[in-house]
């Protein structure tokens, strides 16, 4: 029992230390961080930068007019621009009056202020140890707003947070959030914060008056990652200042203090809220002589002043803009011989006696007169020699570059597993006598796409660009040019290419081959000409005319059959991982073709799931896969269920145009079924053409597919069989089975020859009663009420 007791004491001690670190007040850096971005600062470079009798500095900060040191001192243009100098600190600390925020630096358009980090720490068992929150309200009358040079950053392995703010200029609220996760904190590497592996960053708009970090949550209370990441962090700071250090940051007990001291917040400042046009009419117009007014570029209004071209200094002070002496530095001035500065912010170039020309270094220069040197012959000879030299150098350049290009392509071919693929192709052809992957050269694909011309571009996404290519035999193909490739998984990539090229199903886009002579391998697929299902369902003005209920059901059946084949019938099971209507292509006969295997994974025959980094498309992503990182066959089933909901309703998977509780389509459909209101959200074409029972069966199948628990979902094979069975019955057969009573007392289906009168019945004339539908479905997603970008799920129960 003694070891267990020691462990408990150690855990309690570690938790206590974390709590002390969390609750200790952050210190404010006395030495300002160096600027991380290029800014323009001229108002501090003039001979006069403050009003007469006013101090130039507070501590290490130079305070130029229209700012001023001291409350009520009259040194600032107005009280809102006064800087409170706290002399009790050493050195004295400059503070923004309204919020007592430490000011690090002031430029022509911005100020840099101190930062604080929202921190939330946990015990080893998942209980919340403590939290401090950060938020700044600049005030409605403040001349300051948050700059779009800031970014919102979340760091941790089991955390999510939301940033909110108000823009008083347009009356709108801003809200957006980040989710970070990682299974093994000690393996997280530093670098970019793009993605969700330990660090996430998003941009924020300018013009905000408030910035608050809210809804910081941890789905599992860091219990699974506590040893390497006991706390989660969220903060706002200048872009480019924070560099993610991977596992070192995740376990750094001094993270909040270090970031608070090194990553400042950038504020834009402006004078008043009038435009330049309105401000010029006022007596307190701030721009002095030799300067001009500049409107700010955000909705709140206001203006700033800038010295005219040829002048530099402080445009807010009389005679503050001083003439720039362009001739001061003989090495930098624009004149070849004589440079004369003029008092009107300009200069002139001239040549001394015995020379002619405009005197400018980038013009004619100065040429000596009276020379008998044969300039014409010299120039002709020099020109011929120069052309000969250029011609020879050009030939040599292209010759050397061509050799380098050939060597580079050979290097890429070997680096991308070309030798391995050749061996695999030879083995397959010799043993099975079947067609295998074709290896294309880089030159072949360059010619096929007309050097990757923009008019050959079929689509562009996060993973790369797809081009239409025409091979020498006039065979039309689709060529996918990816952006990145994990060099550590080359052999796995080659294995997937070999397997996918042998996939032979009429409803799966055929992978023809690849090109390995480029830095990132390119894939060549069969070309499907009629666009994506997404384009036809969500066509502006309504779905395509040909998209009848019968065709919708056939497309769903074909797609389900293709996915079932990939899951069960292929040589090695394949999980698609990105099933969505945009990845279902349609040929000239509107036959469905499942495409885009960029996120697919091959699954060993002895495994039912694998652990991966979460990939997919918002709205289609399996919530169980998102939570656990465990990819299974049922993940594709969930995504396919969302596609069925699209076919039934004609609505997008996620839409900010719908009410908040209806934004997620899967949840909306299930909730409508629970309330017996399914018919209210069905597409008009479905209502007009489909039989009631048939639609209910299809909707019930979709509900089973999007069940939160993967074990309760059917397999793709079961889904395909059910859809095929539902297709066998036409509308009249469904109505006969239902035995629908007519107004004249005849029961449809009982009397021969009376079925014709039931053909006019549709879902507009029938009351849907889906009382058999039940669901344990709950809200899966939360989206920002003001942002066009959806946020990830955020737990509603704090840990």
- Count the Cβ atoms, other than its own, within 10 Å of residue 191: 11
Q: Let me know: does 133 contact 208? Beta carbons within 8 Å.
A: no
Q: Let me know: does 395 contact 387? Beta carbons within 8 Å.
A: no
Strand 511-515 with 438-440, pairing? parallel
| Strand (E) or helix (H) holding 702 | helix 692-705
Gap between the Cα atoms of 63 and 56, Å rounded: 6
Our CA angle for 601, 603, 606, nearest 5°, is 170
Report the SS3 class of residue 215: strand
Catalytic residue among 105, 249, 268, 578: 578
Q: What is the DSSP letter of 740?
A: P
Gap between the Cα atoms of 246 and 180, Å rounded: 12
Our CA angle for 607, 608, 613, nearest 5°, is 95
Q: Let me know: does 278 contact 302? Beta carbons within 8 Å.
A: no
Using CA atoms, how far residue 192 sits from 151, 195, 209, 747, in Å, is: 13, 8, 29, 69
Nearest partner of 522 among 462, 481, 491, 478, judged by Cα: 481
Q: Residues 17-33, buried b or exposed e (16+ Cβ, 10 A)?
A: ebeebbeeebebbeebb
| Strand (E) or helix (H) holding 780 | none
Q: Tokens 């970031």 appear where? A: 259
Q: Residues 261-280, buried b or exposed e (16+ Cβ, 10 A)?
A: bbbbbbbbbbbbbbebeebe
CA atoms within 13 Å, Cβ hemisphere of 82: 14
Report the SS3 class of residue 63: coil
**In this structure, what token pair is assigned to residue 793?**
């799920």
Q: What is the DSSP letter of 29?
A: P
- Backbone dihedral angles phi then psi of residue 445, each to the nearest 5 degrees: -75, -30
Gap between the Cα atoms of 380 and 639, Å rounded: 73
Question: 323 pairs with which residues across the strands?
Answer: 311
Q: Let me know: does 146 contact 755? Beta carbons within 8 Å.
A: no
Whole-angstrom Cα Rg for the chain: 35
Gap between the Cα atoms of 478 and 526, Å rounded: 6
Strand 476-482 with 522-526, pairing? antiparallel
> Does residue 587 have an active-site annotation?
no
- Count the Cβ atoms, other than its own, within 10 Å of residue 344: 11
Gap between the Cα atoms of 329 and 323, Å rounded: 15
Report the SS3 class of residue 728: coil
Q: Let me know: does 459 contact 598? Beta carbons within 8 Å.
A: no
Gap between the Cα atoms of 393 and 378, Å rounded: 22
Strand 144-146 with 265-269, pairing? antiparallel
Question: 342 pairs with which residues across the strands?
Answer: 346
Q: Tokens 């060549």 appear where? A: 524
Using CA atoms, how far residue 231 sits from 197, 246, 536, 772, in Å, is: 15, 14, 47, 46
Gap between the Cα atoms of 310 and 460, Å rounded: 46
The CA-to-CA distance between both ends of the chain, in Å, stands at 30
Q: Is 481 annotated as a binding residue?
A: yes
So which residues are the catalytic ones? 578
């Amino acid at each position: 029992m003694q070891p267990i007791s020691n462990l408990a004491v150690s855990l309690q001690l570690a938790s206590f230390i974390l709590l002390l670190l969390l609750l200790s007040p952050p210190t404010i850096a006395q030495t300002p961080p160096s600027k991380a971005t290029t800014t323009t600062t001229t108002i501090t470079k003039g001979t006069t930068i403050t009003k007469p009798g006013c101090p130039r500095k507070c501590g290490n900060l130079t305070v130029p007019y229209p700012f001023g040191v001291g409350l009520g001192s009259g040194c600032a243009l107005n009280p809102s621009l006064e800087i409170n100098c706290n002399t009790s600190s050493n050195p004295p600390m400059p503070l923004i009056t309204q919020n007592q925020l430490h000011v690090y630096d002031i430029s022509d358009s911005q100020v840099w202020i101190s930062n604080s980090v929202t921190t939330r720490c946990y015990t080893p068992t998942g209980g919340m140890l403590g939290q401090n929150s950060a938020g700044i309200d600049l005030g409605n009358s403040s001349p300051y707003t948050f700059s779009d040079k800031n970014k919102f950053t979340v760091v941790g392995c089991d955390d999510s947070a939301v940033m909110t703010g108000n823009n008083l200029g347009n009356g709108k609220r801003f809200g957006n959030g980040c989710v970070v996760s990682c299974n093994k904190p000690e393996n997280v590497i530093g670098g970019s914060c793009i993605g969700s592996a330990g660090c996430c960053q998003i941009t924020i708009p300018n013009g905000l008056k408030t910035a608050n970090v809210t809804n910081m949550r941890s789905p599992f209370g860091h219990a699974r990652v506590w040893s390497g990441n006991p706390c989660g962090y969220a903060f706002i700071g200048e872009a480019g200042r924070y560099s993610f250090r991977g596992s070192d940051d995740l376990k750094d007990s001094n993270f909040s203090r270090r970031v608070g001291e090194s990553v400042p917040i950038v504020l834009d400042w402006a004078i008043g809220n009038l435009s330049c046009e309105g401000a010029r009419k006022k007596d307190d117009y701030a721009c002095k002589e030799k300067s001009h007014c500049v409107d700010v570029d955000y909705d709140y209004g206001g203006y700033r002043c800038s010295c005219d071209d040829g002048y530099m200094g402080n445009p807010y002070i009389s005679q503050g803009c001083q003439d720039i002496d362009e001739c001061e530095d003989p090495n930098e001035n624009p004149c070849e011989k004589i440079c004369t500065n003029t008092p009107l912010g300009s200069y002139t170039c001239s040549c001394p006696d015995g020379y002619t020309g405009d005197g400018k270094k980038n013009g004619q220069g100065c040429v000596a007169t009276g020379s008998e040197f044969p300039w014409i012959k010299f120039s002709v000879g020099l020109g011929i020699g120069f052309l000969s030299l250029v011609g020879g150098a050009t030939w040599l350049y292209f010759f050397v570059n061509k050799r380098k290009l050939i060597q580079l392509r050979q290097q890429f071919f070997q680096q991308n597993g070309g030798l391995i693929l050749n061996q695999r192709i030879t083995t397959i052809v010799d043993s099975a006598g079947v067609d295998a992957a074709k290896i294309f050269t880089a030159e072949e694909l360059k010619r096929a796409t007309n050097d990757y011309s923009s008019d050959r571009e079929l689509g562009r996404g996060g993973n790369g660009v797809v081009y239409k290519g025409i091979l020498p035999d006039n065979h039309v193909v689709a060529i996918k040019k990816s952006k990145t490739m994990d060099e550590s998984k080359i052999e796995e990539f080659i294995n997937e290419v070999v397997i996918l090229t042998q996939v032979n199903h009429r409803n799966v886009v055929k992978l023809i081959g690849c090109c390995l002579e480029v830095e990132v391998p390119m894939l060549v697929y069969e070309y499907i000409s009629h666009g994506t299902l997404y384009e036809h369902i969500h066509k502006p003005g309504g779905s395509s005319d040909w998209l009848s209920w019968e065709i919708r059901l056939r497309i769903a059946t074909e797609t389900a059959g293709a996915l079932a084949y990939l899951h069960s019938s292929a040589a090695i099971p394949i999980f698609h991982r990105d099933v969505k209507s945009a990845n279902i292509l349609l040929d000239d006969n509107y036959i469905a073709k499942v495409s885009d295997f960029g996120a697919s994974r091959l699954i060993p025959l002895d495994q039912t799931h694998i652990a991966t980094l979460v990939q997919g498309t918002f709205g289609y992503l399996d919530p169980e896969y998102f939570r656990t990182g465990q990819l299974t066959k049922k993940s594709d089933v969930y995504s396919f269920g969302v596609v069925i909901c699209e076919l039934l309703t004609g609505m997008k998977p996620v839409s900010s145009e719908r009410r908040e509780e209806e934004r997620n389509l899967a949840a909306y459909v299930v909730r409508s079924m629970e309330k017996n209101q399914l018919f209210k959200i069905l597409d008009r074409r479905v209502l007009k053409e489909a039989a009631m029972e048939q639609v209910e069966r299809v909707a019930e199948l979709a509900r089973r597919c999007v069940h939160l628990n993967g074990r309760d979902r059917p397999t793709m094979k079961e889904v395909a069989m059910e859809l095929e069975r539902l297709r066998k019955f036409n509308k009249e057969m469904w109505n006969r089975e239902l035995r629908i009573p007519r107004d004249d007392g005849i029961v449809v289906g009982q009397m021969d020859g009376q079925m014709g009168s039931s053909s006019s019945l549709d879902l507009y004339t029938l009351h849907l009663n889906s009382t058999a539908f039940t669901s344990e479905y709950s809200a899966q997603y939360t989206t920002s009420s003001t942002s066009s970008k959806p946020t990830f799920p955020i737990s509603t129960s704090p840990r």
